[in-house]
Amino acid sequence: MPVFDLSATPLRALNSALHGLEQGTNDTRFEVVNPRGHHAVAVGIDSPVSVEVHGSVGYYCAGMNDGATVTVHGSAGPGVAENMMSGTVIVEGDASQYAGATGRGGLLVIKGNAASRCGISMKGIDIVVHGSIGHMSAFMGQSGHLVVCGDAGEALGDSLYEAKLFVRGSVKSLGADCIEKPMKPKHLEKLARLLEKAGVTGVQPEEFRRYGSARKLYNFHIDNADAY
């Protein structure tokens, strides 16, 4: 198993080793030690390898991930798993702002808390946060699921499109055009599957509330001018 010590090896060596891996290669498990808050760790991976990062990372860890499983045994800086296409990213600690921003697919699991703008502009990614999330989360969320086992900060789901939000705890306030919606059996089923995939135990789907778009801002209308 290749091990990259980022206190001695440049970031470039790690990322180039992770790109363009031949199909059927034996090196499918990578380990990164001493990440020391490096930015852009394990970005742009396009094959189903697994990467274990031992320590905390800076901005954009696992950015644009397409198929890999990246686990951060520590906390992650802003934009972890930004624009993920597919695969799984797990943060054992907390995540900073914009976790999972613009993600298109795959699963992002944050075992601690996530800061503001979690899931901003999400476009199909599933995000499960074991703890709580900060303000303006899922801003302009287009598609995908955001599951929060704790609480959500102000203006959740502002200007939301079709992303589905599930929060177990309190929501400080809802953003423009975001409303609570009834939880239907299909939502409970989806939620149960996401909780299981994200390793959340002792929590039932029925404990969550669902939020989504009121779709009132989808077309310009003069009576909505205050919201624009």
Partner 1 sequence: MSYHNPPTPPRKSATFDDHTLAEIRRAAATGIYDIRGGGTKRKVPHFDDLLFLGASISRYPLEGYREKCETSVVLGTRFARKPIELKIPITIAGMSFGALSGNAKEALGRGATLAGTSTTTGDGGMTDEERGHSQVLVYQYLPSRYGMNPRDLRRADAIEIVVGQGAKPGGGGMLLGQKISDRVAEMRTLPKGIDQRSACRHPDWTGPDDLEIKILELREITDWEKPIYVKVGGARPYYDTALAVKAGADVVVLDGVQGGTAATQDVFIEHVGMPTLACIRPAVQALQDLGLHRKVQLIISGGIRSGADVAKALALGADAVSIGTAALVAIGDNDPKWEEEYRALGTTAGAYDDWHEGRDPAGITTQDPELAARLDPVVAGRRLANYLKVMTLEAQTIARACGKNRLHNLEPEDLCALTMEAAAMAKVPLAGTDWYPGKGGF
Q: At which residue do the structure tokens 């089923």 appear?
A: 189
Closest CA to 29 of 18, 43, 44: 18
Amino acid in the structure at residue 113: N
Of 63 and 205, CB closest to partner 1: 63
* Binds partner 1 by CB under 8 A, chosen from 15, 34, 50, 71: 15
Restricting to residues 122-181, name those near partner 1 by CB under 8 A.
Answer: 123-124, 139-140, 142-143, 159, 161-162
Work out whether 35 is an interface residue with partner 1 (CB under 8 A): no
**Alpha-carbon radius of gyration of the chain:** 18
Give me 224's structure tokens. Answer: 């909505």
Residue 152 contacts residue 173 (beta carbons within 8 Å): no
Work out whether 87 is an interface residue with partner 1 (CB under 8 A): no
How far is the C-alpha of 139 from the C-alpha of 136, rounded, in Å? 6
**Number of C-beta neighbours around residue 13 at 10 A:** 12
Closest CA to 62 of 20, 91, 92: 91
Residue 135 contacts residue 115 (beta carbons within 8 Å): no
Of 163 and 195, CB closest to partner 1: 163
* Binds partner 1 by CB under 8 A, chosen from 9, 33, 39, 190: 39
Of 140 and 147, CB closest to partner 1: 140
Number of residues that bind partner 1 (CB under 8 A): 43
Q: State the binding string over 40-79 for partner 1 (x if CB under 8 A, else -).
A: x--xx-x-----------xxx--xx-x-----------xx
Please report the DSSP string for 159-203 in residue order: T--S-EEEESS-BS-B-TTEEEE---HHHHHHHHHHHHHTT--S-
Work out whether 216 is an interface residue with partner 1 (CB under 8 A): no
* Binds partner 1 by CB under 8 A, chosen from 56, 69, 113, 121: 121
79 bridge partner residues: none
Quote the least distance from Cβ 204 to partner 1, whole Å. Answer: 31
Quote the least distance from Cβ 103 to partner 1, whole Å. Answer: 10
Q: At which residue do the structure tokens 């503001």 appear?
A: 116
Which residues are at the interface with partner 1 (CB under 8 A)? 11-12, 15-16, 19, 39-40, 43-44, 46, 58-60, 63-64, 66, 78-79, 82-83, 85, 97-98, 101-102, 104, 117, 120-121, 123-124, 139-140, 142-143, 159, 161-162, 218-220, 222, 225
